[in-house]
Chains A and B, each alone.
Chain A
Amino acid sequence: MMRGIRFSAGNGVAFLLVAATAIVPFVTQNLFVYSTLNQALIGIMAAISVHVMLRMDLLTFATPPFMAIGGYAVAIVSMRFDIADVFVLGAISFFTPTLAAILLGPLVLRLRGTYFVLVTFVLSEIMQLVLFLTPRLTGGSNGLVGFPAPTVFGISLSDNQSVLLLTTGLTVVAVVIAAFTTGYFRQHFSAIEENETLAESLGLVIWHYKTLGFIVSAGISGLAGFALVNMLLMAHPSSFTSVTAVNYIAYTIVGGRASLLGTAIGAALLVFATNLLGGQGEYSEGLYGLLIILVVLIAKGGITGSAATLVQRLRVSPQPAATPSKLAQEAQR
């Protein structure tokens, strides 16, 4: 199988879009923009972790528990051990969930399809119970409140601008890691997505790549957990319920599950839509529901997938091709 990184244009655009949000803190002071953008970027990271698993045809509910592991690890380290350096915290938020994924992978990745969905769902429920049952470590139902501002080279990142900049930075890292993984192993992932049994029979050691994908997905979730804890200034079980996994799945599916760009667009659009509805925030769930149903029934590839199909059709359409049925009709004459 051919190796070598191939960065698609879509990945490049996704990277530029996310990186461009770093300008926002220098352009506006609008708090509504800050909070929406923060949520959108966290949504993008979480959705990317779903996307990476979907590249292997695995629908995961395990994003919130890994976010919880990353977020709580950072909160515990910085609150108990006074470690505030952003790079250390970022590494902890990435590698702790990764470690959990390495331990869980051999168990969970034996399953496919429906069973994988169920096992990740059960995992997210278990995580909630564990958080409630370990009050000494995680603060139980109170969570860990009063997350101190992280520092970069000794400068404290406590104001709104730097909170947003930190989230942007984490998202850029997440996009790069995801683009690198899915780009370098594009064919391996595609082979697993297409037909795992066939891929295995052709000599692909699938558990290598499935474990890798799972680990990367977990690490990216952890980064999202860090950003979330930093934004809310606390780690709380209610931030990581299995229901939130549904949102991240919705972002991915609505935006376009096949590409990073689609995933990012879906997350950004849905978060902005929810925030713009503002006072009618209670409608957002139903809106997600309707969008998911519509996308599944009408636009299978999501926003970017449908756009790509449309472009392709427009390119081809100038000369109507002879369809097989027409040929068949002529043959009958």
Chain B
Amino acid sequence: MDSFIQAGIIGITLGAQYALLALGFTLIFGILGVINFAHGGFYVLGGYFAYAAVSDAGMPYPIAVLLAVIGTGVLGWLFEVLLVERCVDDHLATMMLTLGLYLVISNAMLIVFGPQSPHFTFPLSGTFRAGAVYVTAANLVVLAVCFVAIGALYILIYRTGLGRALRALADDRGVATAMGMRPRVLFPLAFGVATALAGLTGAIITPILSLSPNVGDPVLVSSFIVVILGGLGSIGGATVAAFIVGIIESYSSVYLGGSAGALVLFVIVLLLLVFRPFGLFGREIRRA
């Protein structure tokens, strides 16, 4: 029973991380119609930004995380303004652009910081205990940060004028533009918000897991899986799917052994993609 609860807690923490990543990913797809292959790259960037700020500049960790968020957000914004904007309607071109960017980012990190994982640990140690169930303090902090960020994003999207404009653009770009929404301002903004979320996840997760130039690959894969499961472009779907994936992953690694659970999940996702491309919960948001 204890291991059941323990796995559940790990699953929820995983789910919260996946949610942060997938929300950014789905935001970019829903609003711009762009599949962001560089999403894992921004996660890596966030990790290295925070690491550099802590170890090279000696900043306290929370400030470093904030810097990582701002840094990845600004870079995402710039990337959209300078490159993606030029061919935003061509799905093949934008896919190639973000792929290219991902290669450049992970290679740049390799050149600057080297292939070894740097020594980057979470500043809080210590564990809480209830019966035989242990939870690390770091885990709780991550969970809290994720929930706050997810909440903030929901408020931004569903309770502000900006969010309404973004949702309008996602719904029907033509009509929204005719009503005065300006894609040239809002697209880069949405992209920046999304990459900032990836950067935030990287900054808080890499000290717990690991940091190296290629940790973005699995991040991209799990973002894909979550977003497909939840329905491409659907915000609510991505959130729910993230927790489903996190919990399945955690329980299957405890009770089935890592890869088998992943395989089942991937096959489900494959079938879902084929027969219900708009996801488990979504309606069709955007024809790709």
The distance in angstroms between the C-alpha atoms of A113 and B288, with both chains bound, is: 6
A125 proximity list for chain B (CB < 8 A): 221, 266
The distance in angstroms between the C-alpha atoms of A166 and B174, with both chains bound, is: 55
The distance in angstroms between the C-alpha atoms of A249 and B86, with both chains bound, is: 21
Decide: A293 and B97 in contact? CB cutoff 8 A: yes
Against A, the Cβ 8 Å flags (1 = close, 0 = not) of B126-142 are 00000000000000000
User: How many interface residues does A have (CB within 8 Å)?
Assistant: 42
Contact of A119 with B95 at beta-carbon distance under 8 Å, contacts A133-B259, A292-B103 already known = no
Decide: A118 and B100 in contact? CB cutoff 8 A: no
Q: Is A201 engaged at the interface, CB distance under 8 Å to the other chain?
A: no
Which of B93, B103, B107, B266 contacts A246 (CB under 8 A)? Answer: B103
Decide: B277 and A117 in contact? CB cutoff 8 A: no
How distant is B285 from chain A, measured CB to nearest CB, in Å? 12
Question: Which residues of B142-175 have CB atoms within 8 Å of chain A's CB atoms?
Answer: none
Nearest B residue to A241, CB-CB: B217
Decide: B100 and A129 in contact? CB cutoff 8 A: no
Q: Is B232 engaged at the interface, CB distance under 8 Å to the other chain?
A: yes
Against B, the Cβ 8 Å flags (1 = close, 0 = not) of A70-111 are 000000000000000000000000000000000000011011
How distant is B203 from chain A, measured CB to nearest CB, in Å? 23
Decide: A286 and B104 in contact? CB cutoff 8 A: yes
Decide: A289 and B103 in contact? CB cutoff 8 A: yes
How distant is B53 from chain A, measured CB to nearest CB, in Å? 23
B269 proximity list for chain A (CB < 8 A): 122
A20 proximity list for chain B (CB < 8 A): none
What's the interface size class on B, roughly?
A: 35 or more
Decide: A286 and B232 in contact? CB cutoff 8 A: no
Which of A129, A130, A296 contacts B87 (CB under 8 A)? Answer: A296
Decide: B107 and A297 in contact? CB cutoff 8 A: no
Q: Is A159 engaged at the interface, CB distance under 8 Å to the other chain?
A: no
The distance in angstroms between the C-alpha atoms of A133 and B266, with both chains bound, is: 14
Against A, the Cβ 8 Å flags (1 = close, 0 = not) of B105-124 are 11110110001000000000
The distance in angstroms between the C-alpha atoms of A291 and B103, with both chains bound, is: 10
Q: Is B96 engaged at the interface, CB distance under 8 Å to the other chain?
A: yes
B87 proximity list for chain A (CB < 8 A): 296-297
Q: Is B64 engaged at the interface, CB distance under 8 Å to the other chain?
A: no
Q: Is B263 engaged at the interface, CB distance under 8 Å to the other chain?
A: yes
Decide: B274 and A119 in contact? CB cutoff 8 A: yes
Decide: B263 and A289 in contact? CB cutoff 8 A: no
Against B, the Cβ 8 Å flags (1 = close, 0 = not) of A234-256 are 00000000110010010001000
Against B, the Cβ 8 Å flags (1 = close, 0 = not) of A118-129 are 110111011001
The distance in angstroms between the C-alpha atoms of A119 and B228, with both chains bound, is: 9
Decide: B96 and A118 in contact? CB cutoff 8 A: no
Against A, the Cβ 8 Å flags (1 = close, 0 = not) of B73-117 are 000000000010011000111011101111111111011000100
Q: Is B23 engaged at the interface, CB distance under 8 Å to the other chain?
A: no
Q: Is A283 engaged at the interface, CB distance under 8 Å to the other chain?
A: yes
Against B, the Cβ 8 Å flags (1 = close, 0 = not) of A276-299 are 000000110111111111011100
Q: Is B260 engaged at the interface, CB distance under 8 Å to the other chain?
A: yes
Nearest B residue to A106, CB-CB: B274
Decide: A129 and B259 in contact? CB cutoff 8 A: yes
How distant is A70 from chain B, measured CB to nearest CB, in Å? 21
Decide: A114 and B35 in contact? CB cutoff 8 A: yes
Which of B115, B260, B274 contacts A111 (CB under 8 A)? Answer: B274
Decide: B95 and A292 in contact? CB cutoff 8 A: no
Q: Is B273 engaged at the interface, CB distance under 8 Å to the other chain?
A: yes
A296 proximity list for chain B (CB < 8 A): 87, 93, 96-97, 100
How distant is B232 from chain A, measured CB to nearest CB, in Å? 7
Which of A117, A133, A282, A297 contacts B110 (CB under 8 A)? Answer: A282
Decide: A282 and B263 in contact? CB cutoff 8 A: no
A283 proximity list for chain B (CB < 8 A): 107, 111
B52 proximity list for chain A (CB < 8 A): none
Q: Is A115 engaged at the interface, CB distance under 8 Å to the other chain?
A: yes
Decide: B104 and A112 in contact? CB cutoff 8 A: no
Decide: B266 and A122 in contact? CB cutoff 8 A: yes
How distant is B38 from chain A, measured CB to nearest CB, in Å? 10
The distance in angstroms between the C-alpha atoms of A121 and B273, with both chains bound, is: 11
Q: Is A132 engaged at the interface, CB distance under 8 Å to the other chain?
A: yes
Residues of B at the A interface (CB closer than 8 Å) are 29, 33, 35, 83, 86-87, 91-93, 95-97, 99-108, 110-111, 115, 217, 221, 224-225, 228, 232, 259-260, 262-263, 266-267, 269-270, 273-274, 277, 288
Q: List 30 A-B contacts (CB under 8 A).
A: A107-B270, A111-B273, A111-B274, A111-B277, A115-B273, A115-B277, A122-B224, A122-B225, A122-B266, A122-B269, A130-B263, A243-B217, A246-B99, A249-B96, A282-B107, A282-B111, A282-B115, A285-B106, A286-B103, A286-B107, A286-B111, A287-B107, A289-B103, A289-B104, A290-B100, A291-B100, A292-B99, A292-B100, A293-B104, A296-B100
Given contacts A115-B232, A115-B288, A288-B103, 9 further A-B contacts (CB under 8 A): A114-B33, A114-B288, A122-B269, A242-B221, A283-B111, A285-B103, A285-B106, A286-B111, A289-B104
